[in-house]
Amino acid sequence: VSQSRYGSRTKRDYALLGLIWLLSNLSDRLWLSLNQAVPAWDQSNHLTNALLYLRSLQTPDIFQGEWWRQLWMLSPKYPPFTYLASVPFQALFGPGNDQALLTAFLYSGILLICVYLLGKVLFNREIGLWAAAITVLLPRLYQNRVQFLLDNPLLMLAIAAFTCLTYWRLAKSGKQQGVRITLFVS
């Protein structure tokens, strides 16, 4: 099969993934606009931590060691990745739960791509597309996308790491299973 056919098929796959991603995020935003409930305790705690990071990063003093120490001490219990990732969205759109949840767009996009790539390299492109579509429809994952918790970014990072390790292992062992080991070309 010619290289241009692979390229057009890959472009179609990524366009379909983009459509799946867009529709899932639009449905999430619709749910959030209809659901005006106050976030539960755990979600409120995470939002409070995100707001602490937002406040600290609004007046950065990056050349002061004490500022860095205070930044890393803001959350002694939880890793700060989720909170730091929400800062640009809250700085741009204002502080709040729905604004912090905009990070779910990023997480779900990375998750969809990684699930697609895993399915594609381990089986075939159709399996990858179906796996990505099913990922959006799983009730537990949907529930995580509309709540500001650590579960969604943790899942995304674990699947992304597994995807990278799978591609690395297949490339290292030479087991290409008839598939070129490149992320966006094959």
Q: What is the pTM of this model?
A: 0.85
How far apart are alpha carbons 38 and 186 in whole angstroms? 46
- Quick check: 91 pLDDT over 90? yes
Within 13 Å, how many C-alpha atoms sit on residue 186's CB side?
19
pLDDT tens-digit readout, 21-36? 999 999 999 999 998 8
- Residue 131: which residues within 8 A CB-CB, separation 6 or more? 115, 116, 118, 119
pLDDT tens-digit readout, 135-178? 999 988 888 899 999 999 999 999 999 999 999 998 877 665 44
pLDDT tens-digit readout, 36-89? 888 899 999 999 999 999 999 999 999 999 999 999 999 878 889 999 999 999
Kindly calculate the radius of gyration of the chain based on its CA atoms and give it in whole angstroms: 19
Residues 79, 53 contacting (CB under 8 angstroms): no
Residue that has been written with the tokens 């990063």 in this structure: 57
